[in-house]
Every structure is written in C-alpha cells, then in structure tokens.
Chain A
Amino acid sequence: NAGVTQTPKFQVLKTGQSMTLQCAQDMNHEYMSWYRQDPGMGLRLIHYSVGAGITDQGEVPNGYNVSRSTTEDFPLRLLSAAPSQTSVYFCASSYSWGTGGTGELFFGEGSRLTVL
C-alpha cells in the first residue's frame, strides 16, 4: 500500500519554465490537496479537490493550476515558474471532508522545488 506518492522529489527550474508536480494516491480518497511549506509559514493550501472533476482554490492559488480527471491523480502545474515559488510542496489526501466528517490528512513525502 503506497499511500500518497509524489514525483519528482527534487526539481530545479529556471524562471519562466513550466512543470508539473505529480501526485497519486491508492486509498480511494475523495479529497486531495496541495500545500506549500515555507520556513515560518507552516503549510499553506494551494488548491484542493473533493472529487473527480471538482477543484477549488485555497489560500495561495496564484501561479498554479490543477485538474482532477481521476480519483487517484491530482497534478499541480506551475505555469511560469518564479523564484517566489521556491518551496517544498506536499500533496495530501483524505477519506472525507466537510462539517463533522473531516478526516485525517495523509501526506506524501514532498517535492522540493528550486526556481533560479
């Protein structure tokens, strides 16, 4: 049982380049989300999805796109990378969401991105 798998683990980009961070989960979770982690800022929600075909913005969505074509996959796209997007990115999934049903978030091991 792999849980939440993120690829790549490390990536270096030049300003203006685009790339996709991949996230896959094998737990049949409806809820998936992307966070960025920066020193002193905790984890900030970028985008989330409550099911295939449904996505919504989080706290810091600018410069990122997502889509959810299957239950298992939730890729995060950087359209035109900027140095401010240098961060560690975490994908997380959960079996439930909503009032009274919010469940445990299962995190991947992270993708460390550096934008030069």
Chain B
Amino acid sequence: QQQVKQSPQSLIVQKGGISIINCAYENTAFDYFPWYQQFPGKGPALLIAIRPDVSEKKEGRFTISFNKSAKQFSLHIMDSQPGDSATYFCAASGWGKFQFGAGTQVVVTP
C-alpha cells in the first residue's frame, strides 16, 4: 500500500486558474517533501521542495503548503498556463528512500 496518498487523480483547469493537488503521508520520519513534474515521454523533474521546519514555500507561481501535525502537504499552481499541463507527483523522503504519490494529471485549457 502507498505510504503517500495523492489526490485528485486528474484535474482540468482553465488558463489563469488555480490548480491544487493534495498529498498525505504516514511516516513521521520523512524529512523532505518534493514535487516532481513529468511531461509525456520524459523523466520526472524537480519542481519545488520543502522541509518540515517551514509551513510554506513559494517559487514563482508554485507554492507548497505543509501541515506537519496533519501530515499533509499540497501544491498550488497559480495563474495556470497551458505549458503547465503535465503529471505531478508528490513524494516524501527519508534516509535514501523516496515514496511517491500516484500522480495527478493536470490539463490546462486555453
């Protein structure tokens, strides 16, 4: 069973809208929480990451919100663009082992 649960499976958003993807984890030993972006036919690439000592991290249009007590974190994509259409994976990591969520396919319509 997956230790990192990701929702929703898919998401359609209009250009300029906000995309929100949620993840929940179980293992409190995890100490690194990255989000990866994957385009068709390519490997995942790091988008943004957070450590549990902060509650929010923003990089451009992408923001991670982190709730340590609830063991949840989320990715917000502001002002979504067609170029953001991709699959997004959350992950949780500790001591060399990454646990990935099942992925969210985001489609941004023009």
Contacts and interface: CB of A to CB of B under 8 A. Distances in A.
Nearest to B96: A97
Given A40-B9, A104-B49, A110-B43, A99 B94 contact: yes
Contacts of A77: none
A56 B98 CA distance: 13
Nearest to A103: B32
Interface string B16-44: 00000000000000011010100001111
Contact of A102 (B31, B41, B89, B102): B31
Given A100-B31, A107-B45, A109-B41, A40 B97 contact: no
A96 to B, nearest CB: 9
B93 interface: yes
A109 B101 CA distance: 19
B2 interface: yes
A48 to B, nearest CB: 6
Interface of A: 4, 31, 33, 35, 40-45, 48, 50, 56, 58-59, 90, 92, 97-100, 102, 104-105, 107-110
Interface of B: 2, 4, 6, 9, 31-32, 34, 36, 41-46, 49, 89, 91, 93-103
